[in-house]
Amino acid sequence: MLQKILLHFLMEEDEKHNTLELFPPDHLPAALEQFDTVAKTPGLTVTVEHTCIHKDGSLRWLESTITNHLHDPHIQAFVANFRDISERKQAEERQHILDQVSNLVVSSLDQQITLTEIAQLLVPSLADYCRIAILDEQHEIQEIAVNHTDPDKVALVQALYDQYKDQAEPVYGVQKLLRTGKPELISNVSQDVLAHIQVHPDMLEILRRLALKSYMGVPLIARDRIIGAITFSSVQPSREYTKADLYFAQELARRIASALDNVHLYRQAQAEIRERKNAEEALRESEARKDEFISMASHELKTPLTSLKGFTNLLQRRLTKQGDKQALHFLARMEEQLDKLSKLVSDLLDVTKMQTGKLEFREERFFLNELVRETLENLQGTMETHHLQLEEVTDVQVLGDKDRLGQVLINLLTNAIKYSPEADTVIVRVSADEHNAIVSVQDFGIGIAETHQEKIFERFYQVNDGTEKTFPGLGIGLYISSQIVRGHHGRLWVESAKGAGTTFYLSLPLAREG
């Protein structure tokens, strides 16, 4: 009974106010069932939200409330009221679309899938057909997604795009949006409008077949750059886009653009990481090749050097016998150069051994101060330019490889001499604290600027700013020294300032008694 009353009411309402044309069949049974329970239950109130179709063809949302007052002797009727809640429903629906779009774009890093899915989301809730275009770095259209409520017409939407994509001066549409970055709205696409914008006959035909009624388009802008555009088209006379729709579309576009931009930045970062990894890999490979080359070259050089040394010794003995002083003098010069060459080659060999972890140290207990004294005396014997002065000596016993530690001292002393060409003294001190023996080598030479002080211990590092350019060397002496010292659990460091001389410190753990 109530069903009849309700239907009758709805029809009447329709006739009186032209508001309702019919109750949509898909909502009717559920609504009527609800109302039926009201009819059966005195005092019950039921509120139902349902759609209905407005006379203009648009879908409206109603909130219908019915109360059963049949049992009330003063009323004896059903009391019903209806409220148009379309605006609230539309706001909810739009919020839902925004949420869905946001979820979609953040959850997928595959742009193609995302665009297609967005195009599916927009139809039919916001448009009967839509188009999304994305630009690449060169500002060329990289891809395009289209959708239509009628799957058969998707090809037509694509054809429309193909028609105007090459137009030099497009008046509306994706191309224009991409160029200007300005939103577009044609609420009512009448024949007049089409005539006004001088649509090409082929295009006009497609538009006629698509039955375009209303249109809006928004650019996708991220970090002030146009990265794409979305167009919304309606074929329903009841859906005419308004300014409010356009604002909503802009908000939607803003979210999509920023998400796509994030995808873009993410990919860029990934590509950079890949590039850096490749570069690092290439560097590692070239370092490995370099090490291999150094190792090979120094081994190859060692053999002829050893035989050269052998022959000079032989010659020396002969010449001494013959008493040829002049030839002996030249031979001595030759030997000096051979020694230099041997030192370079054995340094290079040491570097390769260190790289491959093959450098081994003998272990013996000895007085470091004795080693310092011996090294100084030996060097002084071949040295005329500088006085190597042993200023302060403490007896200190250490544990380690005497030859290798001697090598460190020679490196420090020869550097002190080499880098103080204007000076004539190098001061060496041997001292100790509670746990360590400390040797310092002080020169009065060119000094080392603070910025280089850590780097000079790196492999092949040479200070290269002006004054130092003329000093020969390979930049490996300090690297070898620091590796040897580290192998003895000691420390090697420098105190210096540019132009103010340099002091290198070597500290080694004292050997325990016993």
Residues that bind ligand ADP (CB under 6 A): 411, 415-416, 419, 443, 445-448, 456, 461-463, 468, 473-479, 502
Minimal CB distance to ligand ADP: which residue?
473
The least distance separating ligand ADP from the CB of residue 318, rounded to whole angstroms, comes to: 35
Decide: 138 and 132 in contact? Cβ < 8 Å: no
Q: Collapsing DSSP states into helix, strand and coil, what is residue 291? A: helix
Q: Which one, 259 or 463, has the nearer CB to ligand ADP?
A: 463
CA 145, CA 152: separation in Å to the nearest integer? 15
Residue 9 or 461 having the CB closest to ligand ADP: 461
Nearest distance in Å: CB 490, ligand ADP: 17
Exposure on the CB side of residue 37, measured as CA atoms within 13 A: 11
- Per DSSP, 15 falls in state H
Q: Quote the distance between the C-alpha of residue 277 and its chain's center.
A: 12
Q: Provide, rounded to whole angstroms, the least separation between the CB of residue 496 and ligand ADP.
A: 7
Cα–Cα nearest to 232, from 145, 130, 160: 130
Nearer to ligand ADP, 258 or 462 (CB): 462
Minimum separation from the CB atom of position 298 to ligand ADP (A): 15
Q: Which one, 119 or 476, has the nearer CB to ligand ADP?
A: 476
Q: In whole angstroms, what separates CA 111 from the centre of its chain?
A: 19
Give all strands (DSSP E) within 401-490, no chain letters: 425-432, 436-443
List the structure tokens of 412. 């420090």
Distance CA 62, CA 201 (A): 44
Smallest distance, ligand ADP to C-beta of residue 476, A: 6
| Shorter beta-carbon distance to ligand ADP: residue 149 or 462 | 462
Contact 125, 93 (CB under 8 A): yes
Q: How far is 34 from 490, CA to CA, in rounded Å?
A: 90
Q: How far apart are CA 119 and CA 151, in angstroms?
A: 13
CB nearer to ligand ADP: pick between 232 and 419: 419
Residue whose CB is less far from ligand ADP, 218 or 476: 476
For the bound state, the minimum distance from the C-beta of residue 315 to ligand ADP, rounded and expressed in Å, comes to 30
Min separation Cβ 253 and ligand ADP, Å: 60
Q: Which of residues 68 and 411 has its CB atom nearest to ligand ADP in the complex?
A: 411
- Residue 338 C-beta: closest distance to ligand ADP, Å: 18
Single-letter amino acid, residue 128:
D
Written in H, E and C, the secondary structure of 74-130 is: CCCCEEEEEEECHHHHHHHHHHHHHHHHHHHHHHCCCHHHHHHHHHHHHCCCCCCEE
